[in-house]
Amino acid sequence: MPNKLDLGAMFRSRSIAVIGAAKDITSLPGRPLHFLKGFYQGEIYPVNPNYSELNGLTCYPSISSVQAEIDLAIVVIAAAKVPEVIRECAAKGVKAITVLSSGFAEQKGRSGKRLQKMLKEIALKGDIALAGPNCAGLIGVQNGVVATFISGLDRGSILQGPVSFVAQSGALGSYLFAAAQDAGVGFDNWVSTGNEAVLGFHDFVSYFVKQETTRTIIGYMEDARDGKAFQTAALEALAAGKPLIILKVGQSKSGAKAASSHTGALAGADKVYSAAFEQCGVIRARNVEDLFDLASICGATHYPRGPRTALMTISGGAGILMCDRCEDEGLQVAKLKNETKDALKQVLPSFASVENPIDVTAELVANPDLLLKPMEITLADPHVDSLVIFLGLQSSNGLRLASLIIEAAAPTGKFIAVNWIAAPPGAVQKLRENSIPVFSDPARGIRSLGALVKYVQCRKLILSKNVAPRFESMPGSKKRTTGTGTSRRKLVQAQAIIQLARQEKRKALTEHEGKQILELYGICTPKRRLAFSAKDAAKAAEAIGFPVAMKISSSDILHKADAGGVLLNINDPTEVKRKYEELLSSVSAKYPMAKLEGVLVEETIQQGIEVIVGAKQDNCFGTVVTFGSGGKLVEMLQDSAIRVGPLGRSVALLMIKSTKVFKLLTGYRGDKKRDIAALVKVIVSAARLAEDLSENLASLDINPVLMLEKGKGAQAVDALFVLK
């Protein structure tokens, strides 16, 4: 988005024109004017040559005939006429437009796409902030800007609050708007992005981050479109301490299944999104209610500093239930100090439990005031980061209990939430008005708290350590130069190897070629020689030292072991010769169409733990790097970490630590520790290599990388480079 576009003119506009306004308030073109009359305090200019007056307002034949400055134009006319109207708006100096009309790039055929291209060019030339086309409009709650037709507004009122919402679907965005309001989520802004001809999802996020009245941004996403721009906006939100919560749909695994490389299979499109989100501290909502729950919990006055959670309950069973969920959601059931337990004993009935979960017992029903002291005592415990209270029913005492909770919460800097089953509505409202999150199901409350704690920890990590992605577009970052003359020369060599394969129209490099590139990037590979005859192979084996491995060399066979093209532990020259012939004949019998270049004779690396390091190009996010349990079982184990590049050593180390295989590498059950430092280098080099060669390289598997003892390095035993 060009910086000069003025999104304030959209969401805080002081004057609005409705181009194509109509009389029938049940019709799509009639609704925006109808809503504006109900909510908006600024100037409204209906534009339609067929009327001189509409709903009591003067109606203008064209935008240019309006004798006043216009911040925002709502366009609801036939698609074909839109470009001309945008041009008129540009001439008139209109700053912002939302195009509700459909019939653009979302349609089959070229004409819609052409129209959208025109519209984009005119808007950019005229410095117009344009939302849509084919969108449901937008809402700026502060100024009553209701530039939309959504039925979510039919209820006649909007619950104001600190949440701004970016929706990549008009209809669903409208329903979610209404349901969120029902769930007590108050809004600052709402926007439907439509076809995103000019302004995209990330532009709105970036704008909302800068609004003082917005504390939390929620989104419904189908496609980030520009991954780097999205991540940049997400990092802005993270830096500003404004949680960005996204419900991302489209998790179909079918894409991943068809992948030709292990890396492709491990890092399906949806997993790449999850990784990209996590790297930038985006909270991913699991479903619709989760989106609202998270929005609600992010509205809390204080965020928890850590995972140590005190649970206070009116029912023992609910206490156990919350404990169960804490374990699942990464929270710790806080260990209370002895002083805390002693103090609780003084104020609770003798049969109450003063161990966490603290059971205040059903005495609370008769005596609601019993809640205050235990809350104060528990919140004062330095081992407690947050307090979650469970209540049920209490129709007669509900408001009193809510007041007590608010009273106890006020002086503390700690996070407090309430799980309240079958709660009296008044009590819920009172708590929410005081920024205390309330959940109707204890599992949802604990899940939301777990997500919030993870957000806080993740934010701290990303902002304090050097692990945030660095993009060229970000302030302070610069394009990585290819560096010294040496590394430049290496890149040229690597590119030459790939060019050769491309000239031969190959889909992949041979293992030998791939390993040459790995070596150029400083990744160790076993000693090896490509042999073109049995005699040659035996000589190579003697030079390398026994036992050797023998592998068929062919860029037509991507997974050699599966094809029976790999033989291990060959112990003498005679066997090498015999196996050479066997290998060629058995593979060519199986794959008569495959071009076999010879046999790779290779040093045997003993006793390594197998891991995989991989990289691929993602359409949306660019270079994606994977690390995980490797070897033949890699796709079965599904133990991998995924990150969007570029990445440095600290991120590589985090990736390693997040996998199960990490435990093996650090000396599992009496085994020796492995060379993690060498592995970090392999991951960083693979990431850099993939970035450097991104134009031609679709994906890269280094599988297995054999992890040797600490100090002895890591060896890339196989390598598969798949070309674009």
Contact footprint for its own copies (CB under 8 A): 151-152, 154-155, 168-169, 171-172, 174-176, 178-179, 182, 220, 222, 247, 249-253, 286-290, 314-318, 320-321, 323-325, 327-328, 362, 365, 392-395, 421-422, 440-444, 559, 561-564, 632-633, 636-637, 660, 663-664, 668-670
Rounded least distance, CB 665 to its own copies, Å: 12
CB nearer to its own copies: give 532 or 668: 668
Rounded least distance, CB 448 to its own copies, Å: 13
8 Å CB contact between 170 and 136: yes
Rounded least distance, CB 279 to its own copies, Å: 22
Rounded least distance, CB 23 to its own copies, Å: 16
CB nearer to its own copies: give 347 or 664: 664
Rounded least distance, CB 168 to its own copies, Å: 7
Q: Give the CA distances from residue 381 to residues 133, 302, 327, 498, in Å, rounded to whole numbers and listed in that order.
A: 55, 16, 21, 63
8 Å CB contact between 314 and 390: yes
Rounded least distance, CB 477 to its own copies, Å: 34
CA–CA dist 55, 59 (Å, integer): 9
Classify the C-alpha dihedral 256-651-639-625 as positive or negative.
positive
**Nearest partner of 229 among 269, 195, 201, judged by Cα:** 201
Rounded least distance, CB 446 to its own copies, Å: 9
CB nearer to its own copies: give 328 or 472: 328
8 Å CB contact between 552 and 563: yes
8 Å CB contact between 152 and 175: yes
Would you call 322 helix, strand, or coil by DSSP? helix
For 642, phi then psi, to 5°, come to -130, 135
**Nearest partner of 166 among 97, 128, 214, judged by Cα:** 214
CB nearer to its own copies: give 328 or 339: 328
CB nearer to its own copies: give 60 or 439: 439
Rounded least distance, CB 644 to its own copies, Å: 21
CA–CA dist 231, 235 (Å, integer): 6
Rounded least distance, CB 361 to its own copies, Å: 9
Residues constituting the chain: 724
CA–CA dist 317, 12 (Å, integer): 50
CB nearer to its own copies: give 99 or 647: 99
CB nearer to its own copies: give 254 or 481: 254
Classify the C-alpha dihedral 510-512-516-521 as positive or negative.
positive
Rounded least distance, CB 169 to its own copies, Å: 4
CB nearer to its own copies: give 126 or 357: 357
CB nearer to its own copies: give 472 or 635: 635
CB nearer to its own copies: give 171 or 677: 171
Strand partners, 147: 138
Q: Which residues contact 11 (CB under 8 A, 6 or more apart)?
A: 138, 140, 142, 143, 145, 189, 191, 207, 211
* 261: its two tokens: 């490389």
Q: Which residues contact 89 (CB under 8 A, 6 or more apart)?
A: 19, 63, 70, 73, 97, 126, 128
Rounded least distance, CB 287 to its own copies, Å: 3
- H/E stretch holding 223: none
CA–CA dist 260, 329 (Å, integer): 35
Q: Which residues contact 255 (CB under 8 A, 6 or more apart)?
A: 268, 269
- Rounded to 10 degrees, the C-alpha dihedral 242/243/249/252 comes to 130
CB nearer to its own copies: give 71 or 293: 293
8 Å CB contact between 331 and 307: yes
Rounded least distance, CB 293 to its own copies, Å: 11
Strand residue runs (E) in 240-322? 244-248, 283-284, 308-313
CB nearer to its own copies: give 589 or 636: 636
**Nearest partner of 418 among 427, 426, 410, judged by Cα:** 427
Rounded least distance, CB 170 to its own copies, Å: 8
CB nearer to its own copies: give 179 or 347: 179
